[in-house]
Amino acid sequence: MRITILSGGIGGARFVSGVVAAAPDADVTVVANTADDIWLHGLRVCPDLDSLMYTLGGGIDPVRRWGRADETWSAKEDLAAYGEGPDWFGLGDRDIATHLVRTRLLREGRGLTAATAHLCERWRPGVTLLPMTEDEVETHLDAVVDGEPRHLHFQEYWIRHRAGVPFTALSYDGVESSTPAPGVAEAIAGADVVLVAPSNPVVSIGPIVAVPGLADALRSTSAPVVGVSPIIGGGAVRGMADQLMTGLGREISAAAVAETYGSRRDGGLLDGWLVDVQDADAVDRLSPAGVATRSVPLFMDDDATTRQLADDAIALARELRR
Ligand code: GDP
Ligand code: CA
């Protein structure tokens, strides 16, 4: 079975680990969001690719849930001593090694796909990890900070301001002229099952499906497309997705996220959708709209619940294939 998963960072990585456990013989390809990427100190930092790579490869910090285990912060201290900002984005020493290798490869003219594959030779994540695009696409928000209008990089909005400043617009800068990374459209077209991880709909899945050609690839694949809601009971599970959705005037509910993606029957992206048991009312709202919806436990509290959730997503996809 070929399974292709669209994913952001931390939430997505957890779900992907469940899929790998639930379908150990499957050939899994993960298409990762890269619109969180940022240049810092001359290094290309790819947070979602690295969250996936470290989580699946056993290198993630289990407490922070991002960055490397056994991390140290000497470089950060010395950068601060030089007065080098930004002080709100911490790069750990071990993590910097990843960014050094990646940046060298990019400077040598290797694409982000090849650079990622090279890093994965060390981490052996058990999946094929692909960036959504090799072009630089970066999410920005038009926000007002201390009375000044700013075009903020997503990371500055998210980490420095903890999603706490009002914004008037959100854009995936560079996306219009981007193209899918090698193998991404093929992984969607050639899959037996396509899964949309319970990742942030605005800044993780949104950018992936905004890459020209990828929404069409999802619409035209012969594989069923099944998504998992990142919203449970009217709120994001961990993190701040609600602030982003509120800022965009969107309803914060499992059903509303599926409606934003739309039904493939009507030119949208989804055949099936999993909501939490406490959001079972979404079943009656979405099923007539052409999204086959099931309510199952959606909290990925531990390996067993995460694996069960992946099992449920694959089972719904299998049911929709018939
Ligand atoms: P990021 O790129 O690191 O922000 O991670 P993602 O975009 O992949 O995932 C973030 C989303 O995961 C958040 O919006 C959460 O609502 C969602 N999430 C986190 N934990 C869980 C969970 O246990 N279950 C579900 N269904 N969603 C979760
Ligand atoms: Ca992310």
Average of per-residue pLDDT across 295-318: 98
**Residues less than 5 Å from ion ligand 2, measured at CB:** 8-9, 36, 48
Check pLDDT > 90 for residue 238: no
Q: Find the residues whose C-beta lies inside 6 A of ligand 1.
A: 7-12, 48, 51, 197-200, 204, 228-230, 232, 236-239, 241, 298-300
Q: What pLDDT, on the 0 to 100 scale, is given for residue 233?
A: 93
Nearest-atom index, ligand 1, CA of 305: 23
Q: Which ligand approaches the C-alpha of residue 155 most closely?
A: 2
Which residue puts its alpha carbon closest to atom 17 of ligand 1?
Answer: 230
Residue 2, SS3?
A: strand
Average of per-residue pLDDT across 125-149: 97
Taking the CA atoms of residue 52, residue 54, residue 56 and residue 58 in that order, the dihedral angle to the nearest 10 degrees is -170
Q: What pLDDT, on the 0 to 100 scale, is given for residue 258?
A: 98
Average of per-residue pLDDT across 156-165: 94
- Domains assigned to the chain: 2-134+177-321 (3.40.50.10680), 139-174 (no CATH)
To the nearest whole percent, how much of the chain has pLDDT over 70?
100
Nearest-atom index, ligand 1, CA of 205: 7
Average of per-residue pLDDT across 159-180: 96
Q: What pLDDT, on the 0 to 100 scale, is given for residue 239?
A: 74
Average of per-residue pLDDT across 179-195: 98
As a whole number of angstroms, the distance between CA 72 and CA 51 comes to 17
Q: How far is CA 228 from CA 94, 118, 145, 257, 291, in A?
A: 32, 30, 34, 10, 12
H helices of the chain, in order, are 10-22, 47-57, 74-81, 93-107, 112-123, 154-155, 184-189, 206-210, 214-220, 241-247, 254-261, 281-286, 303-321
Q: What pLDDT, on the 0 to 100 scale, is given for residue 230?
A: 96
Average of per-residue pLDDT across 121-139: 98
pLDDT in tens, 253-272: 999 999 999 999 999 999 99
pLDDT in tens, 40-99: 999 999 999 999 999 999 999 999 999 999 999 999 999 999 999 899 998 999 999 999
DSSP code per residue over 297-310: -----SHHHHHHHH
Reported as a pLDDT band with limits 50, 70 and 90, residue 27 is very high
Q: What pLDDT, on the 0 to 100 scale, is given for residue 235?
A: 83
Check pLDDT > 80 for residue 322: no
Angle made by CA atoms 18, 21, 23, in degrees to the nearest 5: 105
Check pLDDT > 90 for residue 37: yes
Q: What pLDDT, on the 0 to 100 scale, is given for residue 281?
A: 96
Judge whether 129 and 32 are in contact, CB under 8 Å: yes
Nearest-atom index, ligand 1, CA of 300: 23
Average of per-residue pLDDT across 225-252: 90
Nearest-atom index, ligand 1, CA of 228: 26
In the reported structure, the alpha carbon of residue 155 is separated from the centroid of ligand 2 by a whole-number distance in angstroms of: 9
Q: Which ligand approaches the C-alpha of residue 239 most closely?
A: 1
Q: Which ligand approaches the C-alpha of residue 163 most closely?
A: 1
Q: What pLDDT, on the 0 to 100 scale, is given for residue 313?
A: 98
pTM of the predicted protein model: 0.98
